[in-house]
Amino acid sequence: MSTQLSLFQNDLPDFLKNAEPDALTKALAGNTSNKRISIRGNVFRMVVGGEEVRKSDSRSLQFIVVNASPHVARQYYAGAYDPENKGAADCWSLDGKTPDTTAGNKQHTDCSGCPQNIKGSGQGDSRACRYLRRLAVTMPGDPDVYQLVVPSQSIFGKGDKDSMPFDQYVKFVASNRRSINTVVTQASFDTDSATPKLFFDAVAHVTEAQYNAAVAAGATDEAKRAISYSVNATASDKKKALPAPEAKAVEAEAAPEPKKRASKEVKVEPKKDLQDIMKQWAE
């Protein structure tokens, strides 16, 4: 074994065994430790530094929401959308109302009147500009912060009491006089959907230790990065912004009114304990 490997694996002093890289080290390393949870292909995948390191065979995942973007955001790609290799969007909005000032290829002066917000501007009857909400989450037994991007069909709509879209789920938690970081949230794939679609429900109260850790994690730089839009330098960033189309050419359209799902019997899987959850993420 090399001296360097021995230094990190065998010769670590006791007072450093629980130490984590500080902000300076992460900045110098380019934040390669950033972690996110991908739902590509209806599979929960752990991605670290852009590389997939694990995936789960389970159709559900439990975590604690420690922070979230305050608004439903939007983003638009002029080319073919690739969720795993997308680079920077051409246009995006953090508040869902107006394009961000740093967007390199703004499509309109406001989102409601944008031609990319019209049904049919995307594939089929979809909108080319996509809704999304970014979450910062931790998993029971794992203090690290992960980003989870919730797509539009997992945000809006109405489900039953055990399978709700995210907006409905948060309102349900609030109606019971609880905060979102005081419960263990379970996200489950809708097996009737051809594209990744999540439902949410609360499965347990957090422990006191989990609650304190969630509050602390929500205030970290990692959590703040997870819920913000990170712009990578790509060719699309250098495009000259398009002039805003004339208002008369676009009929503003309200946000999609979610269609009510046909009621169906919901299969409730038995809740798993922490040991089972960690096994699911094992290689």
Whether 238 is in a domain gets the answer: yes
Whether 207 is in a domain gets the answer: yes
Q: How far apart are CA 128 and CA 123, in angstroms?
A: 7
Read off the pLDDT of residues 174-225 as tens digits, 9 standing for 90 and up: 999 999 999 999 999 998 998 899 999 999 999 999 999 999 999 999 999 9
- Read off the amino acid at residue 278: M
Mean pLDDT value of segment 66-78 = 93
Contact indicator for 48, 35 with CB cutoff of 8 Å: yes
Read off the pLDDT of residues 48-65 as tens digits, 9 standing for 90 and up: 988 899 999 899 999 999
Whether 18 is in a domain gets the answer: no
Whether 193 is in a domain gets the answer: yes
Whether 9 is in a domain gets the answer: no
Whether 266 is in a domain gets the answer: no
Whether 263 is in a domain gets the answer: no
Q: Could you write out the DSSP letters of every residue in 55-66?
A: E-SSSEEEEEEE
User: Would you say the pTM of this structure is higher than 0.75?
Assistant: no
Reduce the DSSP state of residue 129 to 3 states and report it. Answer: strand
- Based on the structure, what is the number of domains in the chain? 1
Q: Residue 246 is part of which domain span?
A: 29-255
Instruction: Name which residue leads in pLDDT, 260 or 241.
Output: 260
Contact indicator for 174, 182 with CB cutoff of 8 Å: no
Whether 231 is in a domain gets the answer: yes
What band does 246 get if pLDDT is binned at 50, 70 and 90?
very low
Q: How far apart are CA 214 and CA 50, in angstroms?
A: 24
